[in-house]
Structure 1
Amino acid sequence: MSGERRRGVLVTGAATGLGLALAREFSQVGDRVFMTDIDEQVASAAEQLSGEAGDPVGWLIADLAQDGAAVALKETASDVLGGIDVLINNAVVRKMADVPSLPDSDWDRALEVNLSAPFRLIKACLPEMKARGWGRIVNMASVYSLIALAGRADYVTTKHAIIGLTRTVALELAETAITCNAICPGLMATDSALNRIAALAAEKNIDRKEAERMFLSTRQPGGQFIPIETVTALALFLCGPASRGINGAAIPVDNGWSFA
């Protein structure tokens, strides 16, 4: 890819947590970034990153479960960025319920946001990537792409499926300079995890540190969160020139959880 053109990077689910950290990682190395989320906080997050990087960061509030939303997002982001070179599918929804209790509407929404939207965004971005002769696609999977857990049917199913999509796309792109990979993180200190720890502390009437230890002890080997910066650094590497031979990989970042 020509060094004269700055890369355009689209990050979904970017208002908070890992998505915001990913957007920050790419903006800090000089890429042009476009962020999207259903959360209106994405606007202030983009403004903050613009100030940090000294460069405008695009944003759009979008519900990727809505018909046509993924393709409309691609068109908007491509217009702002002058083309999408790097696509990071990070948006996710989940409902903690066992199969008999999981509403059909929540199941359908998870399929749309976690699986169909990445498929549609990949499909929409590939023609431009092929025309330029270069591209990177990173699907944010999960440790639950590699193992299962009761009470997470929508999340586990869609995260397993995203690996299948990743590998299929990778094989179709094997003769090009475009790659498609997945990252499978364990538990990170996201707002979701921290809120669950706070709820556990209140439920058990224990302090937050003890609740964190209890929460992690049944999940994450080593009893510590996976650093978000480890995941963002890996994403940045997968989108760089040295990663060309890595295609169709599902890379665990879980301190051994998925094979414990």
Structure 2
Amino acid sequence: MSNVKTAIVTGAASGIGLAITEALTEDGVKVVMADINEEALISHSRRLGCQYKVTNLTLREDCKGLVDYTIKNNGRIDILVNVAGIQNVCPIEEFPEDKWDLIISLMLTAPFLMTKYAWTSMKENGWGRIINISSIHGLVASEFKSAYISAKHGLIGLTKTAALEGGPQGITCNAICPAYVRTPLVEKQIADQAKHHGISEEEVLTKIMLQKAAVKKTIDLKTIGEAVKFLCSDNADTITGIALPLDGGWVAG
């Protein structure tokens, strides 16, 4: 990048969010790490030399507070990466309504609020990059994941709208749609799927999760980090409004 940028990465204490934080930090970006897991957040922020803020993204005031903290300490926001997410595997007829509310709040409302609150700084600077970590399930559906899939589909809609509004302001907005990555979230999905289907966890991986992929392997975390770095670069200044599958060829069939 041509000069030092400031980024917010949510869900930064583990998994995809941590990998993205590491990738951006390697590229010289000042990252404010946000997560609800205080212990892991502090540990990784110290290791990487990043600022951090413990944040409950289901609370509107926490979303606003994270943006305010970043601007107060850095004067600007250049990059926003919305990562934080959870999963609940359950048939629609049994799906807990409070879990639906939680997932939609964390994975769709929070990215909207973060985008809204960060927008002014990006607009003033005439430059901004918003990356939403959706999922292959933002493009296709599977059973037992109604709230997750609804949130991820909605996130792609938000991405496209922000791209159209942001273009004249120098703000791009893109979504990345990974297939299965071996993160704690996916490990829980494997266990939940095994329970619902009555099969082993290894069979879940080979017969369900990777069944539709041309490349029969999970997605490497570094692949996602590198994709984010490219979309945040000046070389990607005309790439906006896309939903980029990192899926081993899942949606090609």
TM-score normalised to structure 1 length: 0.88
Asked if the contact 2:86/2:185 (under 8 Å) is kept, the reply is no
Alignment partners' CA distance in 1, 2:200 and 2:170: 54
* Equivalence map 1:2-17=2 (5 Å): 3=2, 6-17=4-15
Structure with bigger RCO (C-alpha 8 Å, 6+ apart) = 2
Tell me, which stretches of 5 or more residues in structure 2 are unaligned?
none
1:35 aligns with 2:28: no
Alignment partners' CA distance in 1, 2:27 and 2:158: 29
Alignment partners' CA distance in 1, 2:160 and 2:150: 16
Which is worse superposed, 39-48 or 84-93? Answer: 39-48
Alignment partners' CA distance in 1, 2:100 and 2:199: 31
Q: 2:172 — aligned with what? A: 179
Alignment partners' CA distance in 2, 1:195 and 1:88: 23
Q: 2:250 — aligned with what? A: 257
Asked if the contact 2:60/2:110 (under 8 Å) is kept, the reply is no
Q: 2:98 — aligned with what? A: 105
Q: Structure 1 residue 78: deviation in Å?
A: 2.1
| CA RMSD, Structure 1 to Structure 2 (Å) | 2.2
Code of the residue aligned with 1:58 in structure 2: it is: Q
Asked if the contact 2:216/2:248 (under 8 Å) is kept, the reply is no
Q: 2:227 — aligned with what? A: 234
Secondary structure in 2 matching 1:30? coil
Deviations 1:9-55 (A, max 9, x none): 100011100100000001111110110111121111111212xxxxx
Aligned residues: 249
Code of the residue aligned with 1:11 in structure 2: it is: V
> Which of residues 74, 82, 89 in structure 1 aligns to 2:82?
89
Code of the residue aligned with 1:138 in structure 2: it is: I
Tell me, which stretches of 5 or more residues in structure 1 are unaligned?
51-56
Code of the residue aligned with 1:107 in structure 2: it is: W
Q: 1:224 — aligned with what? A: 217
Code of the residue aligned with 1:129 in structure 2: it is: M
Alignment partners' CA distance in 1, 2:173 and 2:110: 15
Code of the residue aligned with 2:154 in structure 1: it is: A
1:139 aligns with 2:139: no
Asked if the contact 1:11/1:88 (under 8 Å) is kept, the reply is yes
TM-score normalised to structure 2 length: 0.91
Aligned structure 1 segments of 4 or more residues deviating by more than 6 angstroms: none
